[in-house]
Structure 1
Amino acid sequence: MEFHIDNMWNGKPLTHTPMKVSIEPLKNGTVKVTASGILFNDLPSPPPVSPGCDGATDQLWDYEVVEVFFLNSADDTYLEVELGPYGHHLVLLLQGRRNIIKTMLPMKYQVMSRTNDSWVAEAFIPIEYFPPNIDKLNAYAIHGSGEQRQYQQRYPQTENITQPDFHRLQDFGDVEFSTIIDSNSTRVYSAVWKESMAANQFGTSRYRILNSSRPFQLYSQRKTETLICLSRQILAP
Protein backbone atom coordinates (compact mmCIF):
# COMPACT_ATOMS: atom_id res chain seq x y z
CA MET A 1 0.00 0.00 0.00
CA GLU A 2 1.35 3.41 -0.96
CA PHE A 3 -0.06 6.94 -0.84
CA HIS A 4 0.92 10.61 -0.64
CA ILE A 5 0.00 13.19 1.98
CA ASP A 6 -1.13 15.55 -0.72
CA ASN A 7 -3.49 18.08 0.91
CA MET A 8 -3.30 20.80 3.49
CA TRP A 9 -5.42 19.99 6.56
CA ASN A 10 -8.30 22.08 5.17
CA GLY A 11 -8.21 20.56 1.69
CA LYS A 12 -6.15 23.24 -0.02
CA PRO A 13 -3.49 21.94 -2.45
CA LEU A 14 0.17 21.75 -1.51
CA THR A 15 2.75 24.02 -3.07
CA HIS A 16 5.51 21.40 -2.93
CA THR A 17 6.07 17.68 -3.53
CA PRO A 18 4.08 15.69 -0.92
CA MET A 19 5.46 13.18 1.53
CA LYS A 20 5.08 9.56 0.45
CA VAL A 21 4.13 6.74 2.82
CA SER A 22 4.24 3.02 2.04
CA ILE A 23 2.98 0.16 4.22
CA GLU A 24 4.25 -3.39 3.72
CA PRO A 25 3.79 -6.53 5.86
CA LEU A 26 6.91 -8.57 6.59
CA LYS A 27 7.22 -12.26 7.42
CA ASN A 28 8.81 -11.63 10.82
CA GLY A 29 5.63 -10.34 12.47
CA THR A 30 6.14 -6.66 11.75
CA VAL A 31 4.71 -4.12 9.32
CA LYS A 32 7.21 -1.84 7.59
CA VAL A 33 6.12 1.78 7.22
CA THR A 34 8.36 3.93 5.02
CA ALA A 35 8.19 7.73 4.93
CA SER A 36 10.05 9.72 2.29
CA GLY A 37 10.04 13.27 1.01
CA ILE A 38 11.27 16.80 1.57
CA LEU A 39 13.34 17.69 4.63
CA PHE A 40 12.33 21.23 5.58
CA ASN A 41 14.57 21.51 8.64
CA ASP A 42 12.77 24.76 9.50
CA LEU A 43 12.66 24.42 13.29
CA PRO A 44 14.94 22.99 16.00
CA SER A 45 15.20 19.20 16.06
CA PRO A 46 14.61 17.09 19.20
CA PRO A 47 17.57 16.14 21.42
CA PRO A 48 19.85 13.68 19.60
CA VAL A 49 19.11 9.98 19.93
CA SER A 50 21.67 8.56 22.35
CA PRO A 51 23.63 5.40 21.47
CA GLY A 52 21.73 2.32 22.60
CA CYS A 53 18.36 4.09 22.58
CA ASP A 54 15.59 3.11 20.21
CA GLY A 55 14.57 6.75 19.63
CA ALA A 56 11.18 6.85 21.39
CA THR A 57 10.53 10.54 22.11
CA ASP A 58 7.64 12.10 23.98
CA GLN A 59 5.75 15.01 22.33
CA LEU A 60 7.37 14.40 18.96
CA TRP A 61 4.38 16.17 17.35
CA ASP A 62 6.03 19.48 18.31
CA TYR A 63 8.76 18.91 15.69
CA GLU A 64 9.02 18.09 11.99
CA VAL A 65 7.23 14.76 11.75
CA VAL A 66 5.12 12.35 9.71
CA GLU A 67 2.19 10.67 11.48
CA VAL A 68 0.05 7.68 10.46
CA PHE A 69 -3.14 6.69 12.32
CA PHE A 70 -4.75 3.23 12.01
CA LEU A 71 -8.38 3.15 13.24
CA ASN A 72 -10.91 0.48 14.19
CA SER A 73 -13.99 2.68 13.73
CA ALA A 74 -16.38 0.22 15.39
CA ASP A 75 -14.54 0.49 18.72
CA ASP A 76 -12.80 3.88 18.23
CA THR A 77 -9.46 2.27 19.02
CA TYR A 78 -6.45 3.40 17.05
CA LEU A 79 -2.70 3.21 16.70
CA GLU A 80 -0.76 6.44 16.20
CA VAL A 81 2.76 6.21 14.75
CA GLU A 82 4.98 9.31 14.50
CA LEU A 83 8.24 9.34 12.55
CA GLY A 84 10.90 12.06 12.63
CA PRO A 85 13.77 12.71 10.20
CA TYR A 86 16.47 12.52 12.91
CA GLY A 87 15.83 9.02 14.26
CA HIS A 88 13.03 9.83 16.72
CA HIS A 89 9.66 8.10 16.85
CA LEU A 90 6.55 7.94 19.01
CA VAL A 91 4.01 5.10 19.14
CA LEU A 92 0.72 5.45 21.03
CA LEU A 93 -2.42 3.37 21.58
CA LEU A 94 -5.70 5.26 21.95
CA GLN A 95 -9.13 4.08 23.09
CA GLY A 96 -11.68 6.71 22.23
CA ARG A 97 -10.92 10.02 20.59
CA ARG A 98 -7.74 11.57 22.05
CA ASN A 99 -7.65 9.11 24.96
CA ILE A 100 -4.10 7.75 25.24
CA ILE A 101 -3.91 4.40 27.03
CA LYS A 102 -0.30 3.55 26.15
CA THR A 103 2.61 5.62 24.88
CA MET A 104 6.34 5.42 24.19
CA LEU A 105 6.06 1.88 22.86
CA PRO A 106 9.41 0.52 21.62
CA MET A 107 9.91 0.01 17.90
CA LYS A 108 12.74 -0.60 15.47
CA TYR A 109 13.19 2.64 13.51
CA GLN A 110 15.95 3.87 11.25
CA VAL A 111 16.56 6.85 9.00
CA MET A 112 17.88 5.30 5.80
CA SER A 113 19.05 8.55 4.23
CA ARG A 114 18.99 12.26 4.97
CA THR A 115 20.35 15.08 2.83
CA ASN A 116 19.98 18.84 3.07
CA ASP A 117 16.54 18.67 1.47
CA SER A 118 15.18 15.10 1.69
CA TRP A 119 14.85 12.10 4.00
CA VAL A 120 13.78 8.46 3.95
CA ALA A 121 13.00 6.43 7.08
CA GLU A 122 11.67 2.95 7.86
CA ALA A 123 9.67 1.85 10.90
CA PHE A 124 9.06 -1.80 11.77
CA ILE A 125 5.82 -1.96 13.75
CA PRO A 126 4.98 -5.16 15.65
CA ILE A 127 1.65 -6.59 14.49
CA GLU A 128 0.39 -6.68 18.08
CA TYR A 129 0.41 -2.86 18.19
CA PHE A 130 -2.39 -2.67 15.59
CA PRO A 131 -5.99 -2.84 16.82
CA PRO A 132 -8.08 -5.54 15.13
CA ASN A 133 -10.47 -4.80 12.26
CA ILE A 134 -8.76 -1.63 11.05
CA ASP A 135 -11.03 -0.02 8.47
CA LYS A 136 -9.94 3.64 8.51
CA LEU A 137 -6.64 5.47 8.12
CA ASN A 138 -5.24 8.97 7.99
CA ALA A 139 -1.75 10.42 7.71
CA TYR A 140 -0.16 13.80 8.35
CA ALA A 141 3.04 15.73 7.71
CA ILE A 142 4.02 18.66 9.93
CA HIS A 143 6.83 21.20 9.72
CA GLY A 144 7.60 24.84 10.45
CA SER A 145 7.04 26.89 13.58
CA GLY A 146 4.80 29.70 14.80
CA GLU A 147 2.65 31.27 12.11
CA GLN A 148 4.58 29.29 9.50
CA ARG A 149 3.66 25.89 10.98
CA GLN A 150 2.27 23.69 8.20
CA TYR A 151 -0.19 20.80 8.68
CA GLN A 152 -0.72 18.47 5.75
CA GLN A 153 -3.27 15.69 5.71
CA ARG A 154 -3.98 12.63 3.57
CA TYR A 155 -7.76 12.89 4.05
CA PRO A 156 -8.48 16.55 4.85
CA GLN A 157 -11.11 17.85 7.22
CA THR A 158 -14.54 18.00 5.67
CA GLU A 159 -16.19 20.76 7.68
CA ASN A 160 -15.67 24.50 7.85
CA ILE A 161 -13.49 24.67 10.98
CA THR A 162 -10.73 27.11 11.80
CA GLN A 163 -7.83 24.92 12.91
CA PRO A 164 -6.49 21.42 12.28
CA ASP A 165 -7.61 18.53 14.45
CA PHE A 166 -5.87 15.27 13.60
CA HIS A 167 -8.19 13.31 15.88
CA ARG A 168 -11.38 14.03 13.92
CA LEU A 169 -12.00 10.35 13.29
CA GLN A 170 -14.91 11.09 10.97
CA ASP A 171 -12.43 12.47 8.42
CA PHE A 172 -10.41 9.26 8.12
CA GLY A 173 -10.44 7.44 4.79
CA ASP A 174 -11.49 3.84 4.18
CA VAL A 175 -8.84 1.13 4.05
CA GLU A 176 -9.06 -2.65 3.65
CA PHE A 177 -6.31 -3.40 6.13
CA SER A 178 -7.01 -7.14 6.10
CA THR A 179 -5.49 -7.16 2.60
CA ILE A 180 -2.23 -6.00 4.22
CA ILE A 181 -2.41 -8.12 7.39
CA ASP A 182 -4.62 -11.20 7.02
CA SER A 183 -4.97 -11.66 10.77
CA ASN A 184 -6.30 -8.12 11.25
CA SER A 185 -9.83 -9.23 10.35
CA THR A 186 -10.16 -10.86 13.79
CA ARG A 187 -11.99 -9.12 16.63
CA VAL A 188 -9.41 -10.27 19.17
CA TYR A 189 -7.14 -7.63 20.70
CA SER A 190 -3.49 -8.45 21.38
CA ALA A 191 -2.08 -8.72 24.90
CA VAL A 192 -0.61 -5.21 24.81
CA TRP A 193 -4.03 -3.80 23.88
CA LYS A 194 -5.88 -5.85 26.50
CA GLU A 195 -3.48 -4.78 29.25
CA SER A 196 -3.66 -1.13 28.22
CA MET A 197 -7.47 -1.12 27.99
CA ALA A 198 -7.77 -2.83 31.38
CA ALA A 199 -5.50 -0.21 32.97
CA ASN A 200 -7.59 2.54 31.38
CA GLN A 201 -10.87 0.99 32.55
CA PHE A 202 -9.75 0.68 36.16
CA GLY A 203 -8.10 4.07 36.31
CA THR A 204 -4.53 2.82 36.64
CA SER A 205 -3.30 4.19 33.32
CA ARG A 206 -0.59 6.85 33.73
CA TYR A 207 -1.87 8.87 30.77
CA ARG A 208 -4.57 11.47 30.37
CA ILE A 209 -5.50 14.34 28.09
CA LEU A 210 -4.62 17.86 29.13
CA ASN A 211 -6.28 21.01 27.85
CA SER A 212 -4.30 22.83 25.20
CA SER A 213 -4.63 25.94 23.10
CA ARG A 214 -3.82 23.62 20.22
CA PRO A 215 -6.70 21.11 20.47
CA PHE A 216 -5.39 18.74 17.83
CA GLN A 217 -2.48 17.73 20.05
CA LEU A 218 -2.24 15.13 22.78
CA TYR A 219 -0.31 15.34 26.01
CA SER A 220 0.72 12.76 28.60
CA GLN A 221 1.10 13.56 32.28
CA ARG A 222 4.85 13.33 31.89
CA LYS A 223 6.43 16.33 30.16
CA THR A 224 10.12 16.21 29.43
CA GLU A 225 12.67 18.11 27.42
CA THR A 226 15.04 15.17 27.21
CA LEU A 227 14.95 12.00 25.19
CA ILE A 228 13.60 8.96 27.01
CA CYS A 229 15.94 6.05 26.37
CA LEU A 230 14.21 2.70 26.47
CA SER A 231 16.25 -0.14 27.89
CA ARG A 232 14.51 -2.82 25.84
CA GLN A 233 16.74 -4.12 23.07
CA ILE A 234 15.17 -3.63 19.65
CA LEU A 235 16.38 -6.05 17.02
CA ALA A 236 16.44 -5.33 13.30
CA PRO A 237 14.14 -7.53 11.21
Structure 2
Amino acid sequence: MEYKITNTWDSIKVMREPVIIRFKAGDQGLIMEVNSLFFDDPSAPSGEPRKPFDGLWDYEVVQSFFLNSETKDYLEVELCPKDCLIFEAGINWNKWNGTALIPWRYFPPGVDKMNSYAIHGSGIGRTYEALYPIPREDIEQGQAGPDKKTMG
Protein backbone atom coordinates (compact mmCIF):
# COMPACT_ATOMS: atom_id res chain seq x y z
CA MET A 1 0.00 0.00 0.00
CA GLU A 2 1.35 3.41 -0.91
CA TYR A 3 0.28 6.73 0.60
CA LYS A 4 1.27 10.32 -0.21
CA ILE A 5 1.07 13.10 2.36
CA THR A 6 -0.16 16.10 0.36
CA ASN A 7 -1.70 18.36 3.03
CA THR A 8 -0.88 19.98 6.34
CA TRP A 9 -2.78 18.78 9.42
CA ASP A 10 -5.44 21.47 8.74
CA SER A 11 -6.00 20.61 5.05
CA ILE A 12 -3.73 23.17 3.37
CA LYS A 13 -2.17 21.74 0.18
CA VAL A 14 1.59 21.12 0.43
CA MET A 15 3.25 22.87 -2.51
CA ARG A 16 6.23 20.55 -3.02
CA GLU A 17 7.01 16.90 -3.55
CA PRO A 18 4.91 14.82 -1.10
CA VAL A 19 6.22 12.41 1.51
CA ILE A 20 5.58 8.85 0.33
CA ILE A 21 4.93 6.03 2.81
CA ARG A 22 4.69 2.39 1.76
CA PHE A 23 3.51 -0.47 3.95
CA LYS A 24 4.25 -4.11 3.12
CA ALA A 25 3.42 -7.23 5.11
CA GLY A 26 6.51 -9.25 5.97
CA ASP A 27 6.98 -12.53 7.81
CA GLN A 28 8.39 -10.81 10.89
CA GLY A 29 6.19 -7.70 10.83
CA LEU A 30 5.03 -4.70 8.89
CA ILE A 31 7.64 -3.06 6.68
CA MET A 32 7.31 0.73 6.60
CA GLU A 33 9.21 2.60 3.90
CA VAL A 34 9.53 6.39 3.78
CA ASN A 35 10.70 8.61 0.95
CA SER A 36 10.86 12.31 1.78
CA LEU A 37 12.66 15.53 1.07
CA PHE A 38 15.39 16.09 3.67
CA PHE A 39 15.06 19.39 5.50
CA ASP A 40 17.76 18.86 8.18
CA ASP A 41 15.73 21.18 10.42
CA PRO A 42 15.96 20.89 13.29
CA SER A 43 19.32 19.16 13.37
CA ALA A 44 19.62 15.50 14.41
CA PRO A 45 18.75 14.41 17.94
CA SER A 46 21.66 13.76 20.28
CA GLY A 47 20.51 10.29 21.35
CA GLU A 48 22.20 7.02 20.49
CA PRO A 49 21.07 5.68 17.07
CA ARG A 50 18.59 2.77 17.15
CA LYS A 51 17.81 3.30 20.85
CA PRO A 52 14.55 4.67 22.30
CA PHE A 53 14.52 8.46 22.28
CA ASP A 54 11.86 10.43 24.14
CA GLY A 55 10.70 13.49 22.22
CA LEU A 56 11.72 12.31 18.74
CA TRP A 57 8.59 14.10 17.45
CA ASP A 58 10.40 17.39 18.15
CA TYR A 59 12.76 16.63 15.25
CA GLU A 60 12.32 15.84 11.55
CA VAL A 61 10.14 12.71 11.55
CA VAL A 62 7.56 10.75 9.65
CA GLN A 63 5.19 8.99 12.01
CA SER A 64 2.29 6.57 11.75
CA PHE A 65 -0.36 5.73 14.30
CA PHE A 66 -2.24 2.43 14.30
CA LEU A 67 -5.42 2.53 16.42
CA ASN A 68 -7.99 0.11 17.79
CA SER A 69 -10.87 2.63 17.82
CA GLU A 70 -12.88 0.61 20.35
CA THR A 71 -10.23 0.17 23.06
CA LYS A 72 -8.24 3.30 22.08
CA ASP A 73 -5.02 1.22 22.24
CA TYR A 74 -2.54 2.37 19.63
CA LEU A 75 0.97 1.98 18.31
CA GLU A 76 2.96 5.08 17.37
CA VAL A 77 5.94 4.61 15.04
CA GLU A 78 8.31 7.54 14.46
CA LEU A 79 11.03 7.42 11.83
CA CYS A 80 13.74 10.05 11.74
CA PRO A 81 16.28 10.24 8.89
CA LYS A 82 19.09 9.83 11.41
CA ASP A 83 17.72 7.48 14.09
CA CYS A 84 15.22 4.62 14.77
CA LEU A 85 14.39 0.97 15.57
CA ILE A 86 15.47 -1.78 13.16
CA PHE A 87 15.81 0.87 10.57
CA GLU A 88 17.87 1.59 7.51
CA ALA A 89 18.08 5.25 6.49
CA GLY A 90 19.96 7.06 3.80
CA ILE A 91 20.30 10.75 3.05
CA ASN A 92 21.22 11.69 -0.51
CA TRP A 93 21.46 15.42 -1.17
CA ASN A 94 18.02 16.77 -0.36
CA LYS A 95 16.12 13.48 0.12
CA TRP A 96 16.00 10.75 2.70
CA ASN A 97 14.75 7.18 2.46
CA GLY A 98 14.09 4.88 5.36
CA THR A 99 12.85 1.34 5.89
CA ALA A 100 11.73 -0.02 9.26
CA LEU A 101 10.53 -3.46 10.32
CA ILE A 102 7.76 -3.14 12.91
CA PRO A 103 7.25 -6.51 14.64
CA TRP A 104 3.66 -7.77 14.59
CA ARG A 105 3.69 -8.11 18.39
CA TYR A 106 3.98 -4.31 18.71
CA PHE A 107 0.50 -3.77 17.25
CA PRO A 108 -2.53 -3.74 19.54
CA PRO A 109 -5.17 -6.33 18.61
CA GLY A 110 -7.97 -5.13 16.34
CA VAL A 111 -6.27 -2.14 14.68
CA ASP A 112 -8.91 -0.55 12.45
CA LYS A 113 -7.59 2.98 11.87
CA MET A 114 -4.30 4.54 10.78
CA ASN A 115 -2.96 8.01 10.09
CA SER A 116 0.50 9.27 9.20
CA TYR A 117 2.27 12.59 9.63
CA ALA A 118 5.42 14.30 8.37
CA ILE A 119 6.95 16.91 10.66
CA HIS A 120 9.92 19.20 10.03
CA GLY A 121 11.20 22.73 10.56
CA SER A 122 11.89 24.91 13.58
CA GLY A 123 10.10 27.77 15.28
CA ILE A 124 7.62 29.58 13.07
CA GLY A 125 8.71 27.34 10.18
CA ARG A 126 7.59 24.15 11.97
CA THR A 127 5.34 22.21 9.58
CA TYR A 128 2.88 19.41 10.40
CA GLU A 129 1.62 17.45 7.40
CA ALA A 130 -1.05 14.74 7.63
CA LEU A 131 -2.14 11.87 5.41
CA TYR A 132 -5.72 12.35 6.65
CA PRO A 133 -5.96 16.03 7.69
CA ILE A 134 -8.83 17.75 9.48
CA PRO A 135 -11.09 19.36 6.86
CA ARG A 136 -10.85 23.16 7.14
CA GLU A 137 -14.61 23.45 7.65
CA ASP A 138 -14.38 21.12 10.68
CA ILE A 139 -11.74 23.18 12.49
CA GLU A 140 -13.40 25.03 15.34
CA GLN A 141 -12.57 28.57 16.47
CA GLY A 142 -9.63 28.29 18.91
CA GLN A 143 -8.95 24.61 18.14
CA ALA A 144 -5.34 23.76 18.91
CA GLY A 145 -3.19 22.27 16.18
CA PRO A 146 -0.35 19.77 16.69
CA ASP A 147 2.02 22.54 17.78
CA LYS A 148 -0.48 23.68 20.47
CA LYS A 149 -1.20 26.98 18.72
CA THR A 150 -4.82 27.93 18.15
CA MET A 151 -6.56 28.46 14.85
CA GLY A 152 -8.54 31.62 14.04
User: Does TM-score exceed 0.5, indicating one fold?
Assistant: yes
1:134 to 111, 125, 149: 111
Higher fraction of helix? 1
Q: What is the count of residue pairs matched by the alignment?
A: 145
Taking the aligned partners of 1:64 and 1:157, their CA distance within structure 2 comes to 21
Taking the aligned partners of 2:57 and 2:148, their CA distance within structure 1 comes to 11
Residue 23 of structure 2 contacts residue 30 of structure 2 at CA under 8 Å; is this kept in 1? yes
Give the drift of 1:132: 1.4
Taking the aligned partners of 2:123 and 2:129, their CA distance within structure 1 comes to 15
Residue 60 of structure 2 contacts residue 119 of structure 2 at CA under 8 Å; is this kept in 1? yes
Q: Which residue of 2 aligns with 1:43?
A: 42
Q: Which residue of 2 aligns with 1:118?
A: 95
Taking the aligned partners of 1:114 and 1:145, their CA distance within structure 2 comes to 20
Q: Do structure 1's residue 20 and structure 2's residue 16 form an aligned pair?
A: no
Taking the aligned partners of 1:164 and 1:129, their CA distance within structure 2 comes to 28
Q: Do structure 1's residue 163 and structure 2's residue 144 form an aligned pair?
A: yes
Higher fraction of strand? 2
Amino-acid identity (%): 35
Moved over 3 A (4+): none
Q: For 2:105, what is the secondary structure of its paired residue?
A: helix
Q: Which residue of 1 aligns with 2:87?
A: 109
Query: What are the Cα deviations for residues 3-39 of structure 1, in whole angstroms up to 9, with x where unaligned?
Result: 0111111001001111110111112x22110111100
The 5 A counterparts of 1:1-237 are 1-27=1-27, 29-47=28-46, 49=48, 54-86=50-82, 88-89=83-84, 107-111=85-89, 113-158=90-135, 159-161=138-140, 162-165=143-146, 214=148
Taking the aligned partners of 1:67 and 1:43, their CA distance within structure 2 comes to 16
Taking the aligned partners of 1:48 and 1:121, their CA distance within structure 2 comes to 18
Unaligned runs of 5+ in 1: 90-106, 166-212, 216-237
Residue 9 of structure 1 contacts residue 156 of structure 1 at CA under 8 Å; is this kept in 2? yes
Taking the aligned partners of 1:133 and 1:48, their CA distance within structure 2 comes to 33
Give the drift of 1:45: 1.4
Taking the aligned partners of 1:148 and 1:129, their CA distance within structure 2 comes to 33
Taking the aligned partners of 2:51 and 2:92, their CA distance within structure 1 comes to 20
Taking the aligned partners of 2:4 and 2:42, their CA distance within structure 1 comes to 23
Q: For 1:85, what is the secondary structure of its paired residue?
A: coil
Residue 55 of structure 1 contacts residue 109 of structure 1 at CA under 8 Å; is this kept in 2? no
Taking the aligned partners of 2:37 and 2:144, their CA distance within structure 1 comes to 24
More relative contact order in 1 or in 2 (CA 8 Å, sep 6+)? 2
Q: Which has the larger radius of gyration?
A: 1
TM-score (normalizing by structure 2) = 0.88
